[in-house]
A and B are shown apart, each in its own frame.
Chain A
Amino acid sequence: MKRLPMTLIAGAALTGVFALAALISMVWTPYSVEGMNIAARLQAPGAAHWFGTDHFGRDILSMIMVGARTSIAVAVIAVGMGMVLGVPLGLLAAANRGGLIDEVIMRGNDLVFAFPALVIAILITAVFGPSAVNAIIAIGIFNTPVFARVTRGGALSLWTLDYIRAAEVAGKGKVRISVEHILPNIANLLIVQGTIQFSLGILAEAALSYVGLGAQPPLPSWGRMLAEAQTMISFAPHMAIIPGFAIVLTVLGLNLMGDGLRDILDPKLRRAR
């Protein structure tokens, strides 16, 4: 058996820590994230509160755990949404390559792509109001063209292969071929892209929450924790450093994992080895 790349192991370990924290937070956190204890506010990291407390006396470790859940949930659903919308569009475009449908889908993609991702997100949350759900929709929408493109690109090269031609000759329709033959063969590509989009989703959620357009209080969110810490950085630096590291490490973990997965899954790289 081939050795797994180090990047994959390191990435999966980092991501795993946060995923585990998010899972545990569903049943247990050291302290309640909704309970405030003003008397115990702004404590530096110590024995009672490993990561210290914030300006309301909430336990930062607990908030990081629940914040991980918020980030991961938003990113998973948003990436899922991007896949559910983008992959069929990409398959459809590839199946009708060169046709009107292909043209309409891809130019529509370009249109969405033309807006910077965060601007779309801000637009959506500004119109529909800030909430975690709207953040998901916003991030999902800017994920859609990414998946549509990756799918179309992967599928186009497959459509020229002999076994697809054979399937066509055997009388299979475009939809059946797309689902039965194309999709399984581009799954690797989608998994790698999904991992990368997932890390971008976490960043986008943090950015939206930072400007107040993501998860609303009292639901903890890493981005908002950072925003709240900003004016207190001179006397409570842990309030900014800890959520900052949480974001950096999660995104780093996911990117390493994405790289590692590409190394073992991407057919082109596999052939090159």
Chain B
Amino acid sequence: MLGRLKLGLAVLAMVATPALAQRADISVGLVLEPPNLDPTSGAAAAIREVTYSNIYEGLTRFGPDGSVNPGLAHDWDISEDGTVYTFHLREGVQFHDGTPLTADDVVFTLDRARDEDSTNAQKQLFAAIDTVTAVDPLTVEVTLTQPQGAFLFNMAWGDAVIMSPESVETNATNPVGTGAFRFVRWVQGDRVELERNPDYWGEAPALERATFRFISDPSAAFAAMMAGDIDAFPNFPAPETLAQFEADPRFSVIVGSTEGETILSMNHQNEALSDIRVRQAISHAINRQDIIDGAMFGYGTPIGTHFAPHNPDYLDLTDNSAHDPEAARALLAEAGHENLTLRLMLPPPTYARRGGEIVASQLRDVGIRTEITNLEWAQWLEQVFRGKDFDLTIISHTEPMDIEIYSRPDYYFQYDSAELQAIIAELDETTDPEARTELLHRAQRHISEDYVVGFLFQLAKTGVANADIEGLWENAPVPANDLTGVRWTQ
């Protein structure tokens, strides 16, 4: 009997010892699965939420506070007139397939991104580039057609990461970058696995393995988190459970800001929605606080235009579209649309599914009927974002400083305003901070007063993580889950 007990203790000790060692793996939960893993060929933020700074890196990179820091370029010189940027690349950087990073890769990447056939979802980032030349293997000279204040910021985006011509064709399924983690496998519908890159040029990350798991169902996410199957969920889809996590010492709750303007998008090709009175009526029918409380349990900040409230250039224009069902009904009557039925397409995130039900109820109050269709993420990207086949949808635009999407007539909501396009074009050429602020204010006012879409709220970053993890980003200045600084404290 005693012998058996001793044996039992010995086994227990053997089992327990590894658990005392610091963990070096992490399982990160994401609501949406990326449609592919090539950030230069799709707008879905989920692509960058997996790959940014983990697999791929750009010339510059965003820090957790949104600041622009050196990336693959350790330094740069800017000509006095602000049109020539000379980037000095780091030495000894290798892609995961072993090919060295040279100036030619940068030339290739930037030329490819601004090519006519480019599939890049953010072509405007590269619009100011005139020529890109390799001066020597570690020096790249980028000439702009005019000075652009945001150029270094643009180069830090997930869409501007540097790729190698050898692997660019297969990056969608087998991503090859220069980052601290390299790709292991993608089990579609379930997870993406990464492992530490032993040849990384910079400081080696504390984590050896990282797995991104895709769980869009809030209750499944809750169960996975509670069971410890997921170590961190940076954008937890069930805000109603945060109080419970907060009360539990095993978890830490990280609430921060995102660049996600959550909007009730309207298709301007729809005959009724092309009428500003109808759009204004819809905007007045919406009660933002009810949506924030009902769908997000209070997490979120009302917005009246497409701009992040924590940005110093933000204007609070929520009064333009204050909740006023009377005015909404009057506007609909004036427009002759008292019997309007619109299709409301909802992607999986909680803000859309729950927010959509609330919006539908609020629209019903002013006499607009909606037909709700819940779409899976891939379907939403295909039908709504690419196919533009929708009347209304709810989505959070998580890219920073993305008010320029309203100047793209072929963007999925198809808003075409020469006036706004002129403002954005001017903004692009302006480097003087005061003049930029003025132009940003004009753009914000313009889209707010034209009721381009229904501006709902700024998405909060409601993250849940194991209390022993540190180094996760509190805010999301860009859609990203940079794991390079993440570690277990015990």
Q: Which residues from chain B contact A57 at a C-beta distance below 8 Å?
A: 294
Interface of B is mostly: helix
CB-CB contacts below 8 Å: A234-263 with B: 234-235
Contact indicator B372/A38 (Cβ below 8 Å): no
Cβ contacts B283-303/A at 8 Å (1 or 0 each): 000010110011000000000
Flag whether A55 is at the interface (Cβ < 8 A). yes
Q: Which of A36, A216, A234, A235 contacts B290 (CB 8 A)?
A: A36
Q: Which residues from chain B contact A232 at a C-beta distance below 8 Å?
A: 240-241
Which of B1-9, B14-22, B37-45, B357-365 is found at the contact surface with chain A?
B357-365
Q: Which of A35, A230, A234 contacts B361 (CB 8 A)?
A: A35
Closest to A231 in B: B238
Contact indicator B372/A230 (Cβ below 8 Å): no
Whole-angstrom distance between the alpha carbons of A129 and B376 in the complex? 11
Q: Which of A56, A212, A227, A235 contacts B357 (CB 8 A)?
A: A56
Cβ contacts A91-112/B at 8 Å (1 or 0 each): 0000000000000000000000
Flag whether A217 is at the interface (Cβ < 8 A). yes
Contact indicator A38/B360 (Cβ below 8 Å): no
Cβ contacts B346-383/A at 8 Å (1 or 0 each): 00000000101110111010000000111000000000
Contact indicator A227/B219 (Cβ below 8 Å): yes
Closest to B223 in A: A230
Contact indicator A230/B219 (Cβ below 8 Å): yes
Flag whether A181 is at the interface (Cβ < 8 A). no
* Residue among A34, A230, A231, A234 with most chain B CB within 10 A: A231
Contact indicator A34/B241 (Cβ below 8 Å): no
Closest to A131 in B: B373
Contact indicator A34/B364 (Cβ below 8 Å): yes
Flag whether B222 is at the interface (Cβ < 8 A). yes
Flag whether B339 is at the interface (Cβ < 8 A). no
Task: Evaluate whether A218 and B360 lie within 8 angstroms (CB atoms) in the complex, with A130-B374, A231-B218, A231-B219 already known.
Answer: yes
Flag whether B490 is at the interface (Cβ < 8 A). no
Whole-angstrom distance between the alpha carbons of A34 and B372 in the complex? 13
* Closest beta carbon of chain B to A233's beta carbon, Å: 9
Flag whether B244 is at the interface (Cβ < 8 A). yes
Flag whether A49 is at the interface (Cβ < 8 A). no
Q: Which residues from chain B contact A55 at a C-beta distance below 8 Å?
A: 240, 294, 354
Contact indicator B240/A34 (Cβ below 8 Å): no
Q: Which residues from chain A contact B290 at a C-beta distance below 8 Å?
A: 36, 38
* Closest beta carbon of chain B to A134's beta carbon, Å: 13
Q: Which residues from chain A contact B293 at a C-beta distance below 8 Å?
A: 38, 41
Whole-angstrom distance between the alpha carbons of A130 and B372 in the complex? 11
* Closest beta carbon of chain A to B264's beta carbon, Å: 16
Contact indicator A231/B241 (Cβ below 8 Å): yes
Contact indicator B222/A231 (Cβ below 8 Å): yes
* Closest beta carbon of chain B to A72's beta carbon, Å: 23
Closest to B370 in A: A218
Closest to B365 in A: A35
CB-CB contacts below 8 Å: B212-243 with A: 218-219, 222, 238, 240-241, 243
Q: Which residues from chain B contact A129 at a C-beta distance below 8 Å?
A: 373
Q: Which residues from chain B contact A212 at a C-beta distance below 8 Å?
A: 374
Q: Which residues from chain B contact A230 at a C-beta distance below 8 Å?
A: 218-219, 222
Contact indicator B372/A217 (Cβ below 8 Å): yes
Q: Which residues from chain A contact B241 at a C-beta distance below 8 Å?
A: 231-232, 234
Q: List 18 contacting pairs A-B, 8 Å CB cutoff, sorted by A.
A: A36-B290, A36-B361, A36-B362, A38-B287, A38-B293, A38-B294, A55-B240, A56-B358, A56-B361, A130-B374, A217-B357, A218-B372, A231-B222, A231-B240, A231-B241, A232-B241, A235-B240, A235-B243
Q: Which residues of B contact A (CB under 8 A)?
A: 218-219, 222, 238, 240-241, 243-244, 287, 289-290, 293-294, 354, 356-358, 360-362, 364, 372-374
